Amino acid sequence: MTLIDGKKTAAEIKSEIAAEVEEMKARGERAPHLAAILVGHDGGSETYVANKVKACEECGFTSSLIRFEDDLTEERLIEEIKRLNEDDSVDGFIVQLPLPRHIDEQNIIRAIDPAKDVDGFHPINVGRMSIGLPGFVSATPAGIMQLLKRYGVETRGKHAVVLGRSNIVGKPMATLLMQKSNPGNCTVTVCHSATPNIKEICRQADIIVAALGQPGFVTEDMVKPGATVIDVGTTRVPDASRKSGWRLRGDVDFDNVAEKCEFITPVPGGVGPMTICSLMINTLIARKDNPYK
Ligand code: GUN
């Protein structure tokens, strides 16, 4: 069994990016600039955004954090997005989700210029990815593709089972795994809450990507010997032995599943660190090789 070390891989990629940014600066070019909009004070979102700002520092990027209180109107948020769309000093920006309930997320995503949508959430970027055109790909699935590539996981002709059909992970993951590329060329099955025989389907999988948000869902009896298991789950579960009172738990029963696998990602330290890394890659592309320019 090989443990896929996302923390180490993310650190390697960030240092590769930092070296490239150093070269850009040495040529007198401006460093990439990522802006993040954070609405309200959700604990998880605060942590994610703080980690994104920290990753920008590690890569030598400029970052801006724009904060609003959660009584912000949709109109005011769209106004801010339009300002960022037009600001030539900003290469890419994200609006941290979830947003307060009175704001329509899809209206917000549609307001972002696809050329600056480094989250890859805009319908134009989703559409371009699905037909294999260059654009920005959602960070978590892009990070998983990097891990498969860097660990040399064979994907061609393999049966990949994706658990979960979210717009951010499950759907783009399935699209990328079936793409005519390497990694890619998988036969893909997507399972979700209305799939009756998930266990049976998982047992046929060469690759399982678990993105359901149900801690410990993938058990030992669902995994074929020699399979590759990628765990996207990051649910906070109570843990009295921690100062915080919680720990992160994945969608895979790691302790019992790991020994059956050829490759497996841990939680934490697997997919999680790669997600922010993909955002850094997208921001560098937005600055340097923007597919829309
Ligand atoms: N909330 C959870 N994941 C993400 C993400 O990748 N991007 C944004 N903008 N919000 C999120």
Residue among 5, 91, 117, 119 flagged as catalytic: 119
What is the percent of the chain where pLDDT is above 90? Answer: 99
Closest ligand 1 atom to residue 45 Cα is 1
d(CA 144, CA 150): 10
Residue 34 in contact with residue 63, Cβ under 8 Å? Answer: yes
Q: Whose CA is nearest to atom 1 of ligand 1?
A: 97
Q: DSSP secondary-structure letter at 114?
A: G
Amino acid at 144: I
pLDDT of residue 175: 98
d(CA 182, CA 98): 32
pLDDT of residue 66: 98
Which residues make Cβ contacts (< 8 Å) with residue 147, sequence separation at least 6? 4, 6, 9, 153, 230, 265, 270, 271, 274
285: pLDDT confidence band, cut at 50, 70 and 90?
very high
Residue 258 in contact with residue 218, Cβ under 8 Å? Answer: no
Q: What is the CA radius of gyration of the chain?
A: 19
**Ligand 1 mutation target, pool 93, 144, 166, 168, most atoms within 8 A of CB:** 168
**Ligand 1 mutation target, pool 53, 81, 84, 97, most atoms within 8 A of CB:** 97
Ligand 1 pocket (Cβ < 6 Å) reads 94-97, 119, 139
Q: Find out whether the peptide bond into 291 is cis, omega within 30 degrees of 0.
A: no
Known active-site residue 251: no
pLDDT of residue 229: 99
- What are the CA-CA distances from residue 47 to residues 23, 199, 203, 275 (Å)? 30, 34, 36, 14
3: pLDDT confidence band, cut at 50, 70 and 90?
very high
Q: DSSP secondary-structure letter at 217?
A: -
pLDDT of residue 217: 98
- In this prediction the pTM is 0.96
Q: Whose CA is nearest to atom 3 of ligand 1?
A: 97
Tens-place pLDDT, residues 225-251: 999 999 999 999 999 999 999 999 999
Known active-site residue 214: no
Mean pLDDT for 2-14 is 98
Mean pLDDT for 169-180 is 98
166: pLDDT confidence band, cut at 50, 70 and 90?
very high
Q: How many CB atoms lie within 10 A of CB 42?
A: 17
